[in-house]
A and B are shown apart, each in its own frame.
Chain A
């Protein structure tokens, strides 16, 4: 595959694991997360939240709280209801309205904010919460999304006058005229119910916002833990009905997001309104309980997958009937992207139905690969299908996976698959494991009574996805008076190493040192608009913008240098911040000398030479999405006494195109895989039948620790993308997308001697014990 790997000419930084610009401040404790930023005179906020999942407010008396020491304001819906305007995000559309900042007449999930106290500090604010008199008449909560659609007695949004719990229901749609015939005539049709549990983003830094209202200027200044400063600004411009230019949103360091912080939350709306009410600064830093019960959940969806297979193992058709729990107030309800169901496979026919159902639980948020269920459903179903028809799941995949050589391939859903390597990554991953060798080892282990299993998962990731509002990114790149370079980007990093990777691109494109490039982002008053950092967009879009803007800047540098050197621009080259005549290195000027002339002696330039050393570009890729792909394989052993599963090996073969920084690429994969492993084996967000959350601390909601995480082995293929000038692809979400099915399939394979096919998660020791007991083996 070497013919598809770019060897960047003259690249010194792109492709290298250069050390991160972000790290020095972060390892010394000098990061500036939102709670680290001290605004003099700031007041602190705390929310009174519902302890019941569904009920009507019969009494809400905040008068005692208003008199409590240090309290500056106590707010309920009555205080806010005429204080705001439109509340929607462009990406999600005007129809999906952010719910009211505080509950109006009723509560719809545990954690629903009812009142807001603003006080001198958080301790005093929480003291005052205890003085609020609240009475609720409790109604039967809707908790199980599988039965919610048929429950017309208990309706989550009855308060809006809605008759049912169904948010969206799309009837079955065949994407091939002969789909029914294909199923009817197939040698094998296997139906699998894939059921994925509820788990959460859980960034280590929760949500937080500091809002300051400047009464004199009519300005709102917001510092937020967000994935998008610009969309936060645009949202609040509509919400407060003031010009965008009167709102400044910044973020310095953001402690993880994973999708959760892509959109403005109702609590943040309340804080902004409170800041305007007190004509000052209000700060809200949520605690972990709030983050776990009220920031939003993800996954919790299921699908019945049907796979039709011919005698020669060709998959002739696939369909899914999908149901997702979107909670009460979903900032980002999952949308099954049917084009992804067939993923990297040659499956000529497909069909799907989908529904999204409201429940009295926290709302659904985006989580690293919001479209992962398509992969989860397909990959678990393929293993179950292989088991049912008695073939090795790798054999079934090999027969049906696309390979690079047969591309482009148009899928049943009319998506053009290009520049991907599904079969090739499978082969690489199998070789890294020594699959045949493992199967022999497994046979021997099984003879000794050990439960050893292998799981495979293959997927494509639609990076830089095709959502109209996400089609562009901007960059402004400037040579400063000192000859150093600043790149202003529309991104909002929350751990993606953007300062580093974008500086690598700028440094190479201009011909300067990595250390001479500063990246500025996450400030609406200085950076070009960007819709947000998410959806594995940054490498493709911000990378493209940074490169194109730097190319444009380079032309300006060359034009000035050509005048200074009395040479043709075509004869010049730039390296190490020095512009010289090709072949005559002694004839040169430094970038500082160019800057000196441009900033101080522009009058010496001819009229047709632009003295500006700044370029702005809004970049749009040539095609959407930019596909990347990978294969995951893992080996699991289950203890026969405790039923605890342990991952013995975890292998990823991935193709994210040309790598900007291999260390960063691998870090993204490690972290994504950890979240998938966590979701299957450790993390499970649980509500009881009344809708009360039971996993509200880290003692109950278990994140994987270093003791549980396996060492991950990674193989790389680099099929260059042609959607962007650098040949990059995104990869931020893939680790999380592929790992859920991979681990599930490995557990299933380990339990195969008991005749157990695993299609449901979570898979903690107790879940596995129950499966084994149900099968009559424990």
Chain B
């Protein structure tokens, strides 16, 4: 067992993990943050996307021990209290989810994508979210949500 110290959603945590435990499993089982979902566990679907030191990361492809000292944000840390993040609000407003299983990964990916591409074209949006798989929406509501979120975030800044 190894002790890992990390910050998760602004809270300092120390967890005990085996070296082989993925960061995704550690967040779900050791930190009780089950919003990070596992849908392939081989780095393709993007459902487990979180932010590690400000970058979008697939937490199924990273071991928990690699996150020692890292600043992690999961879907549970995105809203400001009861006030949803603009990306979360946009997914709801534009029907960007149906079963919702892939949604946390999408929301985290989109949040990071809009930081680097604040005013994306449709093609840029589709390219930017092509690392996340959704089986319900055909992506149409998600593309609309990204546009809406971009507009709201640009209006704020």
Contact = CB atoms under 8 A, between A and B. Distances in A.
A29 B104 contact: yes
Contacts of A24: 84, 92
Given A19-B92, A28-B35, A667 B137 contact: yes
Interface in A8-25: 17, 19-20, 22-24
Given A204-B99, A706-B126, A29 B35 contact: yes
Contacts of A121: 29
B76 A28 contact: yes
B77 to A, nearest CB: 9
A27 interface: yes
A735 B32 CA distance: 38
A24 B92 CA distance: 7
Interface in B4-25: 18, 20-21
Contacts of A206: 39
B100 A706 contact: no
Nearest to A663: B95
Nearest to A225: B101
Nearest to A122: B25
Contacts of A32: 34
Contact of A698 (B21, B40, B130, B136): B40
B37 to A, nearest CB: 7
Interface residues of A, number: 56
Contacts of A26: 97, 100, 103
Contacts of B100: 22-23, 26-27, 31, 253, 255, 495
A287 interface: yes
In the complex, which of the residues B28, B36, B45, B101 has the most CB atoms of chain A within 10 Å of its own CB atom? B101
A254 B142 CA distance: 19
A31 B40 CA distance: 18
B146 to A, nearest CB: 9
Contact of A29 (B18, B39, B76, B143): B76
A38 interface: yes
Contact of A697 (B40, B74, B127): B40
A709 to B, nearest CB: 5
Nearest to A253: B100
Interface in B127-157: 127, 129-143
Interface string B102-118: 11100100000000000
A667 B133 contact: no
Contacts of A675: 135
A204 B44 contact: no
Contacts of B102: 204, 255
Given A23-B100, A496-B98, 9 more contacts: A23-B97, A123-B21, A204-B135, A255-B37, A288-B40, A670-B137, A670-B139, A697-B40, A703-B133
Interface of B: 18, 20-21, 28-29, 32-42, 44-45, 47, 74-76, 78-79, 84, 88, 91-93, 95, 97-104, 107, 122, 125-127, 129-143
